[in-house]
Amino acid sequence: MAGGRRKKHHFSRIHAFPCGKASFESDLSLIGGPGFSRVIYCNDPECFEAGVLNYGKTMLELPTVSNVVPLVVVIGATMGKELIEDWRRKRQDIEVNNRKVKVRIGDGVFHHTKWMNLKVGDIVKVEKDEFFPADIILLSSSYDEAICYVETMNLDGETNLKLKQALHETSNLHDDSSFQDFKALIRCEDPNANLYSFVGNLELREQQHPLSPLQLLLRDSKLRNTDYIYGVVIFTGTLTCNSMEFIKFSVAGTSYGRGVTEVGRAMAKRKGSPLPQEVIQEEAHVEEQTEQKPSIKGFNFVDGRITDGHWVNEPRADVIQKFVRLLAICHTAIPEIDEETGKVTYEAESPDEAAFLIAARELGFEFYGRTQTSISLHELDPVAGRTVERNYQLLHIIEFSSSRKRMSVIVRNEEGKLLLLSKGADREFQEQTKEHINEYADAGLRTLVLAYRELDEEEYSEFNQEFTDAKNSVSSEREEMIEEVAAKIERDLILLGATAVEDKLQNGVPECIDKLAQAGIKIWVLTGDKMETAINIGFACSLLRQGMKQVIISSEAPENKGLQKMEDKAAAAAASKASILRQISEGKALLTASSESPEALALIIDGYSLAYALQDDVKDKFLELAIGCASVICCRSSPKQKALVTRLVKTKTGNTTLAIGDGANDVGMLQEADIGVGISGVEGMQAVMSSDFAIAQFQYLERLLLVHGHWCYRRISSMICYFFYKNIAFGFTLFFYEAYASFSGQPAYNDWFLSLYNVFFTSLPVIALGVFDQDVSARFCLKFPLLYQEGVQNVLFSWRRIFGWAFNGVLSAILIFFFSISAMEHQAFNKDGSCRPRDPRSHHVHMRRVGG
């Protein structure tokens, strides 16, 4: 019995590595030959061979330590990083919560209290260079006008100081004792993430007074240039370089100002036409006059008829006086006077506004003082021939809005006259100053119209009541109510003239756009400029070229002008929509007709028409036309329209969209796009805070896309394919080994080799490839922009390439495994017939796989 069993054991090949070929006559042949590879002894539990052939478990068993250690290392490193960051945050929280601020307590005295102990309704006193411990409503300050300067760099990244001003009714709370009998009730909106809006009112002595962002001091902003402020806690816990220059203006039908703008010069260069001889002579004259006087930032105005007080000799000097006075009064800027030199500088909301104030000062109307209720000027009196001081009582500021496209102020002059001064878009006043506005637009200048009218007491009294009621409202319709009241008063205005401000192009903008176009990137311009300005900037920036056909969809079409004056607004809107549809259809017909010709098309549409083009039943037709054009320019676009156009392209085409902007009006567009790029500039950091990438100048977009975009696409796609390859090669060597081991579950490699394969042995090459790989130099990428199309067409991450890498992994596994098995074939047994350990063989296969 025993001998028979030994004989059977002698013929069994189950334990043998392929040291020789299997016999076809053998009943128990190896895998790969006929027959079966498993020998089973039925109902014979005492059989020695059966014990050898039986498996203790049906699962592969590896030591616990080698399985757990890599997991512990990865999770432990992540937890350690989070622990360090949490500890740092905890220390910061402790430090912030234990800061101290002066708070008025029950005995009427201000004592230092920790920030963490503040409660809603507490009266706090914040001193110079201290941070605000909570969201606070400003009550008063060390200034008589109850103003203070605030630095909000911690909130929005902006370094320029912002002016805040308390209500006139609380501005007399100048010292600690003045709060002895102070009682008030504040109603306001719930806390939200919006830094630039606030709705509420303050009830004092049974009278309500509107609160606005002008009175709101946000936590973590800093008090600057102000000795102290008093406030009440309301919440606790929780493309251009914008270098604006005043160039020209038009008053009473006469245009003033000389010189050629950068856009005009660049446009002439792009069109291939030289500057006219008279323009060259005018430039030489301007340069000669400029050399004789020091340059003034924001003021590049040259005209002997106006400068140095000569405007008093002009035929319409009275209109010029009103025009420049309006520039000096209609704004929200704050003057800062240098105590040593007496020089006045301006903190303005926009570069345009600062340029207007500098221009007014240079023309004899210097804005030098502002309180809650007054504006002070040094004016050149044309009668007396000298500078005099004038004070204007400031009654109301009707702030700029994107729907009205204007801002206004209501003042009372020293003679007691009530004046409404307004500046804004030129749409309402084009007829009287159209020629000069178009001339300025052709030069690439930003135009603005100035107008005014006198108010009578009865009309102002009615407006004052309605406007106060609207501002005191805390409902969601507050802004609409204010707009409605403002529209009633801003009518029947008398045109004074128009301004022209040059928004200087950054260095390298035309070249950058040209390179991006060569790379196959379609560029759309969404701007608030008027159509003529946008077209000429398009020529200057290479978006528009000579020979390009322009498809213009405009509300200025003759039939639309009549429609806008119709009494029936619904009928007018329907007719306007039909007109826009007709223009889109004509554009599509032109697109179809020009498909056989090499001439490209450019689509240009204004904001009024765009509102209809974005309606649900029109937007598909508009998008079809826009996609077929080489360039698209949307003029007079509101922030909402910019975001809607971006969403339309992203959702309907499925293409990746990138938006780039530098102002608060670009935030919606940046957030809607797949990739938002913010430009940090004078207009603030709101665009940067809302973007995915931030750059200092527009020209850096060229390197960001063409160089880093190309490199990153290649790195990431190659890295992912490399991951597929190495893991497929790893998995198939295990599969082949199990086939040779009769699927016994015997591990092919040392358990540490298995566990550390991805964590250590093969991670560094993949990471190095994903971080440092550069197929070509940066200079080569910029020289040949079409390389960017490698990513657009997904050349390196197509299914064909992925399957190619996978097949390469399978092939590598075959070569590595069978080469190693063949090489180690005669080393499987010792001389005495015993099996050698598998570690040398598995180590050899593993090293070949890692090294291969």
Residues making up the binding site for Mg(2+): 662, 666
Q: Is 8 helix (H, G, I), strand (E, B) or coil?
A: helix
- Which sign, positive or negative, has the C-alpha torsion 106, 109, 110, 111? negative
| Residue 534 and residue 635 in contact, taking contact as beta carbons nearer than 8 Å | yes
C-alpha 542/C-alpha 547 separation (Å) is 12
Other beta carbons within 10 angstroms of residue 407's beta carbon come to 21
C-alpha 149/C-alpha 160 separation (Å) is 10
Region of 368 on the Ramachandran plot (φ > 0 left; ψ -120 to 50 alpha; else beta): alpha
| Residue 391 and residue 376 in contact, taking contact as beta carbons nearer than 8 Å | yes
135-141 sheet: strands from edge to edge: 110-114, 100-104, 123-127, 228-235, 135-141, 216-217
- CA distance readout (Å), 198 to 193, 345, 478: 11, 28, 11
C-alpha 578/C-alpha 647 separation (Å) is 24
Kindly give, in sequence order, each residue whose CB lies less than 8 Å from that of residue 522, ignoring residues fewer than 6 positions away.
Answer: 630, 632
| Residue 778 and residue 703 in contact, taking contact as beta carbons nearer than 8 Å | yes
Other beta carbons within 10 angstroms of residue 711's beta carbon come to 18
C-alpha 196/C-alpha 59 separation (Å) is 63
Select from 433, 390, 430 the least CA-distant residue to 411. Answer: 390
Structure tokens given for 239: 């493309």
Kindly give, in sequence order, each residue whose CB lies less than 8 Å from that of residue 290, ignoring residues fewer than 6 positions away.
Answer: 302
Q: Which residues make up each annotated binding site for ATP? A: 353, 400, 423, 446, 527-529, 636, 642, 665-666
Q: Which residues make up each annotated binding site? A: 353, 400, 423, 446, 527-529, 636, 642, 662, 665-666
- CA distance readout (Å), 694 to 117, 507, 642, 685, 706: 38, 18, 19, 10, 16
String of DSSP letters for 370-438: E-SSEEEEEEEETTTTEEEEEEEEEEEEEEEETTTTEEEEEEE-TT--EEEEEEE-SGGGHHHHHHHHH
C-alpha 383/C-alpha 367 separation (Å) is 20
The distance of Cα 822 from the centroid of its chain, to the nearest Å, equals 61
Backbone angles phi, psi at 552, to 5 degrees: -105, 120
| Residue 594 and residue 550 in contact, taking contact as beta carbons nearer than 8 Å | no
Which residue type is seen at 551? V
Q: What angle do CA 777, 673, 511 make, to 5 degrees?
A: 40
C-alpha 310/C-alpha 291 separation (Å) is 20
| Residue 161 and residue 150 in contact, taking contact as beta carbons nearer than 8 Å | yes
For 549, the enclosing helix (H) or strand (E) is strand 549-553
Q: Is 356 helix (H, G, I), strand (E, B) or coil?
A: helix
